[in-house]
Structure 1
């Protein structure tokens, strides 16, 4: 099918771009960033559509929709017009800087189908802001976050039939940004490609919604201060795979990454981590490691902090936690729950941590203990439109 111009944003029938003030830039001043414009998007529809998959045994990120979004950039010509086109393979030079020097980053977000078939995104502007921060760290070009979000909205709108009719499945959105400089020189790339692909997904873990076990060992380090641990870059994950397989060899599902001589608790595999306990001062507390440059600023993490602070039921802290803190609290029966959070899993309870040859059993009443259950329900109700919220963005 021939390419046709997209409908300008001012004439589109879809909702206009509305961003929650909670998720907007803090200074309230719009920046003039040289960027592509969603209104310039060109849409080429696929001549045939692929059959939709059975969600029952769908492996995470294994099936993709009919279309994708691509936006090219060069230092000489700037950003080109966004293209929504049939899903296809990329073609790149063998000396592409993303392949040789990992000048690459990505994001992860979801589209959910709510009551009446309405499709919506969950706090997508936070993903856009995080992606821009990662791009700056990777020396990739800046862009207008609102324009990218509108491009993604249009892509999801084109493939909206792929958003599952299920309250346990969703459409995973993977924006990716690559340096495509055809040179072996280690430098800021002179050309780049930003693209977005979509994948219908069910549960992230093969075991479904059940507690996970963690292998905690200081043998490997995920991130360090001054590094890129707070950016969503592929290299952070690729370098973790070896340790992940070692964790499996020890009978655990995920790696609990430690840092420093005092074995500070940082992240869990693809998740942020929370400890719900009675702290050393006798206070009921929900604690998670602080954003000190090592921790990825998760959107679900931020949402859990904001929700629980609004409840006002217990103390909510961003603070350093060590394995010694956890061991002591377990011995004194002060641990209530431990769970991970992330876009893919939402909330995932932890029932065991293997540390220095000892299994630390975490209290876990049933598959989902009370706090994790409440958080999962409240977040899911917002994501799937059962609870009205300014955190959702309609497609």
Structure 2
């Protein structure tokens, strides 16, 4: 897609935010039947470009704060029921003008994606598994089109916009320093039959209050639980992995399944692919309860607990606050060998040190 050409403007690691918001209603599912169909709805050859007359200085790469720096330009593509997709426009980075009755404001009829491009060791810029993001984007667009009540009906107007910018570490603690998690069963992020497996804004806004509760209790993130048995789902910005020895003493990597409660993360997908390729230990996608986790911790079965995500890549977990008690996780005492190995393997691929078809050349 033409939007990837913007990667060359920033250099280094780049974070993309791809948002679809509805001015009246959401995108019709027929627009997103396949990735090939989407790409033919508008063409790079039709791109209209307006360059900024006031380019900013490049930020200091050593002082980058995640999500605070943006490039001089953005991509917008308007769509209407009457005209379909309009010509793509690259224009100076600017505020959006939307109607006060916009459904994105009132009903959260919007979705977004976040993905990264990397300046590799050969100085070329490549995106990491972007089609997995587009497939997830596709599924979210279809889900957002379901016609709920309260006057929310099908869309007449919508817009895709893409913004990019260089990023630093996601957590203030650094790129590979352990984080602590608040596991509080009073709060629920998603539920069966909901949209917890879609990257929609409505899944994130309500979590801010709980995130503040976690910070007040000295934790960096929230470990979301579900159901009466306190089933582990995901962390605020990460999918969760547990590396332990099962009851038979066999090493096993476990992560919650894609059953509609959690986001199907691209990094999660990649870690599972790598682990299964290695074939050195058991790999399972299954339910984990806090009771099971606490028992394994008490019996010294836990080797490592870590999260994965586009923003943090791989992040170790050292503590979980559950039922008012802090439970130390021996992740760092065990290396963490597996988390470090995953991080090295992934970043070697992302920065081009290890050739892989997961990387898509941009420029």
The TM tier, using the shorter chain, reads: 0.7 to 0.9
Distance 1:97 1:272 in 2: 29
Using the alignment, how far apart are the partners of 1:194 and 1:86 within structure 2?
16
CA deviation after TM superposition for structure 1 residue 117, in Å: 1.3
* Pairwise CA distance, 1:335: 0.3
User: What is the SS of the residue equivalent to 1:56?
Assistant: helix
Query: Which residue matches 1:330?
Result: 297
Match of residue 197, structure 1, among 160, 163, 166: 163
CA distance in 2, matches of 1:368, 1:84: 46
- Equivalences for 1:1-395 in 2 at 5 Å? 32=37, 35-139=41-145, 185-208=151-174, 209-365=176-332, 369-395=336-362
Aligned counterparts of 1:386 and 1:321: Cα–Cα separation in 2: 35
> Contact (CA 8 Å) 1:265, 1:323: kept in 2 or not?
yes
Task: Give 1:367 shift.
Answer: 9.9
Where in structure 2 are there 5+ consecutive unaligned residues? 6-33
Q: Which has the higher contact order (CA 8 A, sep 6+)?
A: 2
State the number of aligned residues.
Answer: 326
Identify if the C-alpha distance between structure 1 residues 244 and 262 changes in structure 2 by more than 3 Å, giving closer, same or farther.
same
Q: Deviations over 1:109-131 (max 9, x none)?
A: 01111113111100001101110
What is the deviation of 1:107? Answer: 0.3
Counterpart CA distance in 2 for 1:93 and 1:329 is: 53
CA contact (8 A) 1:279 1:285 kept: yes
RMSD between superposed Cα atoms in Å = 1.8
Counterpart Cα distance in 1 of 2:163 and 2:36: 27
Partner of 1:147: none
TM-score, normalised relative to structure 2: 0.86
Q: TM-score, normalised by structure 1?
A: 0.80
Q: Give unpaired runs (5+ residues) of structure 1.
A: 1-5, 10-28, 141-183
1:236, 1:187 → 2: CA distance? 20
Give, in whole Å, the separation in 2 of the partners of 1:82 and 1:138.
Answer: 23
Per-residue deviation at 1:81? 1.1
Contact 1:349 1:368 in 2 (8 A): no
Is the 2:35–2:135 Cα contact (8 Å) retained in structure 1? no
Cα deviation code 1:302-343 (max 9, x no counterpart)? 000000000000000100000011111011100000000000
Q: Deviations over 1:278-325 (max 9, x none)?
A: 123432100000000011000000000000000000000100000011
Following superposition, the deviation at residue 40 of structure 1 comes to 1.9
Note if contact 1:211-1:368 (Cα within 8 Å) is conserved in structure 2: no
Q: Give the match for residue 169 of structure 1.
A: none
